Amino acid sequence: MLSLLRLSIAEDVDADGEWWFGEEAPSSRDATSTATLGPDAVLDGYLVAKEEGVVAGLPLADALFRLVDPALRFTPSVEEGERVEAGQTLATVGGPGRALLAAERPAINFVGRLSGIATLTRQFVDAVSHTAADILDTRKTLPGHRRPDKYAVQQGGGHNHRMGLYDMVLIKDNHIDGAGGITEAVRRVRDTHGDTYSIEVEVKTLDELDEALALAPDYLLLDNMSPETLRQAVERADGRVPLEASGGVTLDTVSTVAETGVDAISVGALTHSAEAFDVSMRAR
């Protein structure tokens, strides 16, 4: 439905890795490991899944380990986006012991968070697999971590909505109220930007849908509509504009929403409510 981003989280380590690691050990000072391990100690670590799910974030973990010490060797045992079982080894890492333990927690935190997002996304994708509907994320992400979060959605089989406020126009209720109506809001966008951006318009009723359809936007966002209203919206649109359903969709309801015939379903919970995936590392 929407243009898909192909995200590389290695770029995020290049930009933010020093900041992430700086929280753990300013000036690379790990008080515990410095006292308990000799400077020449070498360790081998194993990242292990403690539950079933979909793994994501291993390239970021690899980059974080190498950021702390280029001598650390990280070897994935599974592919990104792969379903894994409890007890399965996800990756091994070996090298200087102090550096390995210093990088352990930031690396595990990212693999846990991103795998949690990927796992929840896959559950939504599986729930609508009998339909043609795509599962989309939203901008409801932790500030500073949008790219990794959206990357994890991709690994779970979902699709990315806009990255921010700059890559498409999404006219929502506050914009409509501020402009004085849907028609005026769309007119102002086209007067300002021409055809530079794709335009999506949020509608809450079938009357608003009819008004928006007459303006030929690129997408329509059907906000908090009941399944019956969604079905009527699909009939009225008749394939003229891709339709995105949004608003409080859960795993219990997403299948019913998809069966109305909408083209996509956006789910904020993918990134704002995903439980962390349980992963641990044992070193010896």
Catalytic residues: 105, 140, 172, 202, 223
Whole-angstrom CA distances from 61 to 20, 44, 157 are: 12, 15, 21
Put the strands of the sheet holding 134-136 in their side by side order. Answer: 134-136, 264-266, 243-246, 219-223, 199-203, 169-171
Whole-angstrom CA distances from 126 to 10, 109, 144, 250 are: 28, 26, 29, 13
Residue found by looking up tokens 């349980």 in the block? 278
CA distance 168 to 267: 18
Neighbours of 169 (CB within 10 A): 22
CA distance 56 to 153: 9
Q: For residue 25, which of 94, 100, 75, 93 has the smallest C-alpha distance?
A: 100
